[in-house]
Amino acid sequence: MKKICFYSQVLFFGLVLFSGNTLIAQEKTKYLDAEQSDPIKMGWMKGSPPPADRIVRFEDGSFFQFPALRWSVAHMRQFAPSINVSHGLRNSRSLSSSINNGIDKVKFIPLGETNPITWAESLQKVYADGVIVMHHGKIVYEKYFGALTVDGQHAAMSVTKSFTGTLGIMLVKEGLIDPEKLVSHYVPELKNSAFGDATVRQVLDMTTALQFSEDYADPNADIWKFSAAGNPLPKPKDFNGPKTYYEYLPTVKKKGVHGEAFGYKTVNSDVMGWIIARVTGKTVAEVLSEKIWSKLGTDQDGYYLVDGIGTPFAGGGLSLGLRDLARFGQLILNDGKAGAEQIIPKSAIDDIRKGGNKEAFAKGGYPLLKGWSYRDMWWITNNDHGAFCARGVHGQVIYIDPKADMVIVRFASNPVASNGANDPYSLPAYEAVGKFLISNK
């Protein structure tokens, strides 16, 4: 029973791995819609005590089952240990607003459909919990739904990876990491793993060749072992697998040739997190705080979920406030500057924006994302606006459109994990809003 609970709970950590759109077939299940599943109306964890059917738990995975997950994504640290990303003591940079009421009425045709819907309608389709659109550095749109409040924090899921990649390329530009060196140069513990003869650059761009199965139907899939290793709960007595991220990563085996194909595997981000921790002597949470979060003028601390020895989950464990996510997106769009302060070297942002290898990406299995690439753990659309983004399961996103001088950040709690469920109502929507803002001077 105990053991079953432990293993069923790892589902949450497994889900974090899905940020692509083709990994699992889109569920045909009929879910409650956004309004029906409103987590505040449903009363999750509300009451002293809450009614028995409104209590959800980490240990049995119930906290991350739809529709309860709509509440849980805004309360992750209530379920598990976490490590702070301090915003320091400086006051926040004010975000000026110039709300554009036209955005709600912007129309677009969802991918694979024929009838247009509005931006406002699309937010219901993707179970948005909060959306901010920045244009010319100002908030032009800001809405909260579900369990998220303006002073709350929401799981960023795999958007976390883009933070890890950004810190990685910053350390490259600072000279602490040579991207052409082998991973094992920095983390000798990985010498005999798949990462032993991969370069840091291949890790940053996820062109490592890994034998890492994410087949949920297979109880022996690697994903389950990774998830179990990162689970912060005490391990069952008879547990004999790796017990932490740092015990798991050296067990990953190679399959194929590094550098040839994009393969979206969360373990790359955790290896990058390990390299960052090793070269700085600090946790990824401390590095993010020192290099970005305490300088950006954020309103709130962020936090990472951690494994059993306090290692932040660099592949998907970050939770943040929506306005702070918008500040971060704007920082990236502004070539690393916030106000007059150069927080991230422009050369690091340039490295992200130049994108990765398109041929390698094309082998990665993302037919909907034609012509895209992946660089420094960011998704590069290569569209005519030069847009690039950070993406996480259940609909988390930072979408940066340089031509429209626009940043869209969104937290969501779509019952379907895969972005395949969100992209049809999101990618054309972002483009439509970008065009609307350009034309709507």
Among 277, 400, 417, 429, binds a copy of itself (CB under 8 A): 277
Q: Decide whether 57 or 346 has the Cβ nearer to a copy of itself.
A: 57
Task: Check residue 79 for interaction with a copy of itself (CB under 8 A).
Answer: yes
Please give, one letter per residue, the 3-state secondary structure of 310-326: CCECCCCCEEECHHHHH
Please report, as residue ranges, which positions from 279 to 318 form the binding site for a copy of itself (by CB under 8 A): 281, 283, 294, 299-301, 306, 308-311
Residue 376 Cβ vs a copy of itself, minimum distance, rounded to whole Å: 21
Count of alpha carbons within 13 angstroms of residue 86, beta-carbon side: 7
Task: Check residue 185 for interaction with a copy of itself (CB under 8 A).
Answer: no
Residues whose CB is less than 8 angstroms from the CB of residue 382 and which lie 6 or more positions away in sequence, other chains included: 355, 358, 371, 372, 373
Sign of dihedral through CA atoms 314, 315, 321, 324?
A: positive
Residue 370 Cβ vs a copy of itself, minimum distance, rounded to whole Å: 39
CA angle 382, 385, 386 (to 5 degrees): 40
Beta strands in 373-439 (DSSP E): 373-375, 378-380, 388-392, 396-401, 406-412
Task: Check residue 227 for interaction with a copy of itself (CB under 8 A).
Answer: no
Residue 306 Cβ vs a copy of itself, minimum distance, rounded to whole Å: 6
Please report, as residue ranges, which positions from 315 to 354 form the binding site for a copy of itself (by CB under 8 A): 323
Cis ω on the peptide bond leading into residue 67 (within 30° of 0)? yes
Q: Between 48 and 67, how does the x/- string for binding to a copy of itself read (CB under 8 A)?
A: xxx----x-xxx--------
Q: Between 364 and 383, how does the x/- string for binding to a copy of itself read (CB under 8 A)?
A: --------------------
Task: Check residue 278 for interaction with a copy of itself (CB under 8 A).
Answer: yes
Task: Check residue 89 for interaction with a copy of itself (CB under 8 A).
Answer: yes
Q: Decide whether 75 or 258 has the Cβ nearer to a copy of itself.
A: 75
Q: Decide whether 49 or 367 has the Cβ nearer to a copy of itself.
A: 49
Count of alpha carbons within 13 angstroms of residue 310, beta-carbon side: 7
Among 68, 69, 83, 369, binds a copy of itself (CB under 8 A): 83
Structure tokens that stand for 99 in this block: 């709300």
Please report, as residue ranges, which positions from 136 to 165 form the binding site for a copy of itself (by CB under 8 A): 150-153
Question: How far is C-alpha 75 from the geometric centre of its chain's CA atoms?
Answer: 16
Q: Between 7 and 46, how does the x/- string for binding to a copy of itself read (CB under 8 A)?
A: --------------------------------------xx
Residue 84 Cβ vs a copy of itself, minimum distance, rounded to whole Å: 7
CA angle 147, 148, 152 (to 5 degrees): 125
Q: Of 144, 157, 263, 249, nearest to 202 (Cα)?
A: 263
Q: Decide whether 185 or 278 has the Cβ nearer to a copy of itself.
A: 278
Please give, one letter per residue, the 3-state secondary structure of 89-148: CCCCCCCCECCCCCHHHCEECCCCCCCCEEHHHHHHHCCEEEEEEEECCEEEEEEECCCC
How far from each other are the two terminal CA atoms of the chain, in whole angstroms? 61
Residue 99 CB coordination number (10 Å)? 12
Task: Check residue 246 for interaction with a copy of itself (CB under 8 A).
Answer: yes
Query: 49: burial class by Cβ within 10 Å (0-12, 13-18, 19+)?
Result: exposed
Among 65, 92, 118, 383, binds a copy of itself (CB under 8 A): 92
Interface contacts to a copy of itself, rule CB under 8 A: 1-2, 5, 45-50, 55, 57-59, 75, 77-84, 86, 88-89, 91-92, 150-153, 233-234, 236-237, 244, 246, 274, 277-278, 281, 283, 294, 299-301, 306, 308-311, 323
